Every structure is written in C-alpha cells, then in structure tokens.
C-alpha cells in the first residue's frame, strides 16, 4: 500500500468531544469519524486493525471447536417474549416495527436467536457439543454513549454460544473459551486479567470478564496482592468483618443537629467511623423502596443490592416522600421503627457491630448503643453482602489484602445453564430417549472496544504505539524527500522486498516534508519506521526506528529485511 492512495486524514488538533486518549488518537490519526452519537465510521487504517483483531479471534474460536455462522441482526420480538427478556431488556434495546406492525429489535445479543435456531436443528445427544459463533454489529441504545468506540450504540461483537448435554460438558466448553480468550488477548500483546464478574442482564451462574488494564477503564477491579484472585468490584465477595464482643449497652437517643453526613456525625459525637452505620435509600424501577445499611466507612454495591431484589432492573436514589411514608427520615435513618413491609437489607458486617451509632428516624437525632443483633428486629429483614470491596479488604480466597486497579472489559464469558433452553424449550434426546434441556454458555468480545483498549494501554504524547499483531501496518518506509525520484526508487525497493517476504508494509510516497511524515508515523503508531535518506543511500544503509522505544539503528541495506523481521518478533 502507498500512503498517497491511503485515506488517512490526520489532524493536528484534538476534537473537543473526545474525552479519552483512544478516542482522541483514533480521530487525529484519521482512523474513525463520528456519524452520529455513539455511531462511528471506520476509515481504512482502523478497518485494517479491526480485521486483524477479528482474524486472531476467528483463528482461536476455530481452534477451540467453534464454527462461524451469521445470523440476522434484525430479530423478531416473539423469541424475546418467549425468554421473557422483551420487557426485561428495557430501553437499551432498539425496537422497530415493520410495515405490518410486527415488532422487531436490532440485536443487542443473540441468545434467543441462536436458541431458536438450535432447538429446531439439534435432536440427539450425538449432535453435541456444539459451538457456533459470529462476528457482526450489535445495537444497544446506551444511556450514555461515550469514550468513542468504548461505549457506542452500534458496535462489532464476536459472540459464541455453546450447547452441551450436561453441566460438566458446559464447564468444559467454558474452559475452552476461557483458554481461547487468554490466547486471543495474549496474541494481541495486551496486558489483561480474567476477573470474576457479575452476570448482569444476561443471567447464568458463573462469569469472567477479560479486562484490559488501563486507567481510562470503567471497571474497577480488585486484585489480590498474594494469590491470583481478581474480581470486578461489582462481583467481589466479602466476608463479614468481626469485631471483639462488647456488652450491649441500653439504646440511647441523642440530639445530633445538622449531622447529615457520616463525617459530621463522627465529629459531633466523637466516635470512630467504624462505629457508625450508614443508610442508603433506593427505589427500584417498579418504585419499591429499599433501605440498605452498611458500616459507616463502607460503600454500597448497587449491583449486589439489585441482585437481592427479584424482578428489579434498576435503582435510583429514593424520593424523600417515599422514605417518610415508610417511617424513615432522610439523613437520620436506621431500621429501628421502619414500617412493616419495607424492604431492608443489612450488610453482615453491620450485624457484627456493638454499641454503634445509627439514625433515630427523626430529624437531627441518632441512637447510641445500637446493637443490630438486638435492635434490628424488623420482620423480613435481609442480611446479605451488599458492600463494595475497597483497597485493603481481605481477598476472599486467601485473606491477603487486595489492591484496586482500573480496566476495560473487552470480553466476557458466561455459563448460562438452562436459562434459555428451558424458557424456549430447546431440548435433545439422551441415550435413554429422554428429553433434556440443552446446557448453554455464551461468550462475547467487543472488537471495537478491544481496539480502543489497546490504544489506551499503548500510547505516548506523540500518538499510538501499536502492538505488532494488530497494527494497521507493521512497517512504514519513508523517503526523506519523496519528490526525489532516486530516493523514492530506493525506498520502493526496500518496500518491495519487505512485501515479498510477507511483511505488512506501507510506503510513504507522499510529496510531504519529512517532518510532517514523521509526525504522522508517530501519531498512527506503526511499530517500525524505515527512513531512506540521501546520506544513507550513499553509504548503502537504511535507518530503522522502533516506535515503542525510540531506539534507532542504521543497518546495511542488505541486512534491512532480516533486522526488520527479527525486531518484529519482539514487538
Ligand atoms: P458493559 O458492562 O460495559 O456495558 P456488557 O457487560 O453489557 O458491557 P456484554 O453483554 O458482556 O457487555 O458484551 C460483550 C462485549 O461487548 C463486552 O465485553 C464489550 O467488549 C462489548 N460491548 C458491550 N457493550 C458495548 C458498547 N456499548 N460499545 C462497545 N462495545 C461494547
Ligand atoms: Mg459484559
């Protein structure tokens, strides 16, 4: 490929709306352009990278036993009504009607579609296990599309679905996919961690997210400082913190004017924060009030809260009127005196506290000597781990302290079990001729998000630093003065030699100043740059520069190919 034919409109300035580095650099490097909110066009450089990522994914899916198919993006509502998700998926689903008024959606994922396919095709245990996948556009009307390709409304996903005859088979398929994902992200040259994850709206028993470590990531992950435990903060399980037993003193109401926050309360009563109980009031999408209590220095994990409430899809902060109606007082709340029938969830650590401080459910008043085991007598009170892990908390596997780090969820694998096959009656006949539900798993990778994650992890002030495996081109050959025919011919000769040897090279034959071309090379981030200069031509050499390290070497023209090949194996 010649740069004079390449449509890569680079920019010197960053568009104002691009908040994260990957978005800024893809824009400036002439890789993507926005079509509308959360929708992007991939220009040639980006598309080359996308296709390389897809190729790596394809090879690993095929090697693990997957077979590629392609299902329609448009999906009839009936399948989703069968699974019960037509309502449950909510506003993220893009819905449309055809000319006859029949309802469809643009697929946000394909569990229903594939279950409907397989139930009509698979009859016998002899046809199992089966793994089918596709790579295609998905649609999700995200509440906040942002960060360019990281959270868009139309995006490319690889989704594979596994079908097994039993739980053991599903676990085997899951492990194959887990290993394939490990290979994929390793081959792409990314630093990543598989982390235990919440199963969210997809459902199912067990799940891992493959998280690319980067500060711009939206996932907070807890990583053990000793063992290999890692989990998203949404998921990380916590054991209750037990403290020394104390004599339970009598409950005492005290005036605490203006102490709306835990800090003020601790200041006012001169108690340590670990002796206080914090209340957070939520309302679900069905308007149910949920009061959650954690220790004063802990935070509520909303995902865990949501998982405790059957049928709820979303939480928002409760209205004051709802709190008052339940007998509570915003800012001064405890379970003591809350009306019967109100949903109350208490974190287990709270149940281990003695003589603590909690709200008195009236303005400017708290109780001292609250002993939850004695005082939280509300009927139906739920004691469940609902707190968010924080740095220093003990690892649930080995007890060593965890540290927190940020990452980008690039892929996720789920054990689905029989959730979809039972709802949609997808069965097979076993050896005895008995009907059994198919046992499923599903496995997604966001292709565009992975490209963005790679940039988040690999960049500097000059631009992108591509890992070789997913670089739009591996090498760029730049004649210092492209208007000089002899330099161009020399560069072309180097380029042809590389191409012939299978190196993915670009010839920058544009009649631009050297400075402009070098700036573009650094911005786009080709792993290697070969410079042809009059001095080098005279001496019979070329200059090879490694983008990642900035290291430059001058090698004889004859050694160029070999040097490039050996450098590429390290990048
Ligand atoms: P998130 O929690 O970030 O919204 P998700 O867990 O809903 O993502 P999955 O259903 O697991 O996403 O989809 C599989 C993969 O598709 C994700 O791991 C991610 O890489 C990608 N993906 C999901 N939503 C988007 C999006 N809005 N834009 C780009 N990629 C996405
Ligand atoms: Mg996910």
CATH number at 118 reads: 3.30.930.10
Tokens of 223: 């990583």
Residue 127: alpha-carbon gap to chain centroid: 33
Atom of ligand 1 nearest to the CA of 411: 18
Within-domain flag for 430? yes
Distance 242 CA to ligand 1 centre (A): 37
Asked whether residue 171 is domain-assigned, the answer is: yes
Name the residue range of residue 517's domain. Answer: 473-568
How many Cβ atoms from other residues are within 10 Å of residue 462's Cβ? Answer: 15
The two beta strands, 103-106 and 94-97, are antiparallel
pLDDT of 447 > 90? The answer is yes
What is the structure's pLDDT at 200? Answer: 65
Residue 484 backbone dihedrals phi, psi, to 5 degrees:
-80, 120
Say if 62 falls within a structural domain.
Answer: yes
pLDDT band at 473 (very low <50, low <70, confident <90, very high): very high
* Among protein residues, the one whose CA lies closest to atom 16 of ligand 1: 446
Pair (490, 448) in one structural domain? no
Bigger pLDDT: 204 vs 526 = 526
User: Domain check: are 284 and 414 in the same one?
Assistant: no
Check whether the bond before 355 is cis (ω within 30° of 0).
no
Look at residue 88 in the predicted model and tell me its pLDDT: 87
Same domain, 325 and 177: no
Identify whether residues 53 and 157 lie together within a single domain. yes
Looking at the fold, whether 300 and 350 belong to one and the same domain comes out as yes
Domain tally, the chain: 3
Are 258 and 355 found together in one domain?
A: yes
| Backbone phi and psi for residue 146, each to the nearest 5 degrees, phi listed first | -165, 175
Residue 7 lies in a domain: no
DSSP string, 378-442: -TT-EE---B---TTPBPTTT-PBEEEEEEEEEEEEEEEETHHHHHTT-EEE-TTS-EEE-EEEE
pLDDT > 90: percent of the chain: 88
Specify whether 274 is located in the same domain as 370.
yes
Is residue 239 pLDDT above 70, yes or no? yes
Q: Is residue 378 domain-shared with residue 428, that is, in the same domain?
A: no
Whether 468 is in a domain gets the answer: no
Please indicate whether residue 142, judged by its CB atom, sits closer than 6 Å to ligand 1: yes
Average pLDDT over residues 82-106: 95
**Centre of ligand 2 from the C-alpha of residue 298, in Å:** 25
Centre of ligand 2 to C-alpha 414, Å, is 9
In the predicted structure, residue 206 carries a pLDDT above the cut 90? no
Pocket probe for ligand 1: among 54, 144, 197, 409, the residue whose CB has the most ligand atoms within 8 Å is: 409
Whose CA is closest to 42, among 54, 53, 60, 30? Answer: 30
CATH of the domain at 482: 3.40.50.800
Query: Domain check: are 414 and 372 in the same one?
Result: no
Tell which residue, 23, 28, 25, 36, has the closest CA to residue 9: 28
Q: Where does the pLDDT of residue 371 fall: very low under 50, low under 70, confident under 90, or very high at 90 and above?
A: very high
Q: Judge whether residue 17 has pLDDT over 90.
A: no
Mutating to test ligand 1, I would choose from 26, 444, 456 the residue with most ligand atoms within 8 A of its C-beta, which is: 444
Residues 6+ apart with CB under 8 A from 127: 121, 428
CA–CA dist 113, 118 (Å, integer): 9
| Same domain for 198 and 321 | no
Binding site membership of 152 for ligand 1 (Cβ less than 6 Å) = yes
Q: Lowest-confidence range among 9-18, 95-104, 123-132, 539-548?
A: 9-18
Q: Is residue 407 lining ligand 1, measured as CB closer than 6 Å?
A: no
Residue 92 included in any domain = no
Contact 418, 77 (CB under 8 A): no
Higher pLDDT, 228 or 424: 424
Span from the CA of 444 to the centroid of ligand 2 (angstroms): 8
Q: Do 224 and 400 meet the contact criterion of CB atoms below 8 Å apart?
A: yes
In the predicted structure, residue 203 carries a pLDDT above the cut 60? no
Ligand 1: does its nearest atom lie under 6 Å from the Cβ of 409? yes
- Cα(6) to centroid of ligand 2, in Å? 35
223 and 340 both lie in a single domain: no
Q: 428 and 507: one domain? A: no
């Amino acid at each position: 490929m010649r740069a004079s034919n390449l449509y890569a409109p680079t920019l010197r300035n960053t568009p104002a709306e691009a908040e994260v580095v990957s978005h800024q650099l893809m824009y400036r490097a002439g890789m993507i352009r926005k079509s509308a909110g959360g929708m992007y066009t991939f220009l040639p450089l980006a598309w080359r990278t996308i296709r390389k990522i897809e190729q790596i994914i394809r090879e690993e899916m095929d090697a693990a036993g997957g077979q590629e198919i392609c299902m329609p993006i448009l999906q009839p509502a009936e399948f989703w009504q069968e699974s019960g998700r037509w309502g449950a998926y909510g506003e993220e689903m893009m819905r449309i009607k055809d000319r006859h008024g029949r309802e469809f959606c643009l697929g946000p994922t394909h569990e229903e579609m594939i279950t409907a396919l397989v139930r009509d095709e698979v009859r016998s245990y002899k046809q199992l296990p089966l793994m089918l996948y596709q790579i295609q556009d998905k649609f999700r009307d995200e509440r906040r599309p942002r960060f360019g390709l990281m959270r868009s409304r139309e995006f490319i996903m690889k989704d594979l679905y596994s079908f097994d005859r039993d739980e053991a088979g599903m676990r085997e398929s899951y492990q194959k996919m887990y290993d394939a994902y490990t290979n994929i992200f390793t081959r792409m040259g990314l630093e990543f961690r598989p982390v235990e994850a919440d199963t969210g709206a997809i459902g199912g028993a067990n799940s891992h997210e493959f998280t690319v470590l980067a500060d711009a990531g939206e996932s907070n992950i807890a990583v053990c400082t000793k063992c290999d435990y890692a989990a998203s903060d949404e998921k990380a399980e916590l054991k209750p913190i037990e403290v020394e037993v104390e004599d339970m003193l009598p409950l005492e109401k005290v005036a605490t004017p203006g102490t709306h926050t835990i800090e003020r309360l601790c200041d006012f009563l001169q108690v340590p924060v670990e002796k206080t109980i914090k209340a957070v009031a939520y309302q679900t999408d069905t308007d149910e009030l949920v009061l959650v209590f954690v220790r004063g220095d802990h935070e509520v994990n909303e995902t865990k809260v949501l998982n405790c409430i059957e049928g709820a899809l979303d939480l928002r902060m409760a209205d004051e009127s709802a709190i008052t109606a339940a007998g509570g007082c915003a800012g001064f709340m405890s379970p003591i005196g809350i009306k019967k029938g109100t949903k109350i969830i208490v974190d287990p650590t709270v149940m281990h506290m003695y003589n603590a401080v909690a709200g008195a459910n009236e303005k400017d008043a708290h109780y001292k000597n609250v002993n939850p085991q004695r005082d939280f007598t509300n009927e139906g009170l739920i004691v469940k781990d609902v707190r968010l892990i924080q740095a220093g908390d003990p690892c649930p596997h080995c007890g060593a302290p965890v540290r927190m780090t940020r990452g980008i969820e690039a892929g996720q694998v789920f054990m689905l079990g029989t959730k979809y096959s039972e709802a949609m009656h997808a069965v097979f006949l076993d050896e005895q001729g008995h009907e059994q539900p198919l046992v499923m798993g599903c496995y997604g990778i966001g292709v565009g998000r992975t490209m963005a994650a790679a940039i988040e992890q690999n960049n500097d002030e000059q631009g992108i630093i591509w890992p070789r495996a997913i670089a739009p081109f591996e090498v760029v050959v730049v004649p210092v003065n492209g208007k000089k025919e002899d330099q161009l011919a020399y560069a072309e000769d180097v380029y042809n030699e590389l191409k012939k040897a299978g190196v993915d090279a670009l010839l920058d034959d544009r009649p631009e100043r050297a400075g402009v071309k070098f700036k573009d090379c650094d911005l786009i981030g080709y792993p290697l740059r070969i410079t042809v200069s009059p001095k080098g031509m005279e001496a019979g050499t070329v200059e090879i520069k490694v983008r990642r390290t900035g290291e430059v070497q001058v090698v004889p023209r004859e050694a160029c190919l070999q040097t490039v090949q050996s450098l590429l194996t390290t990048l």
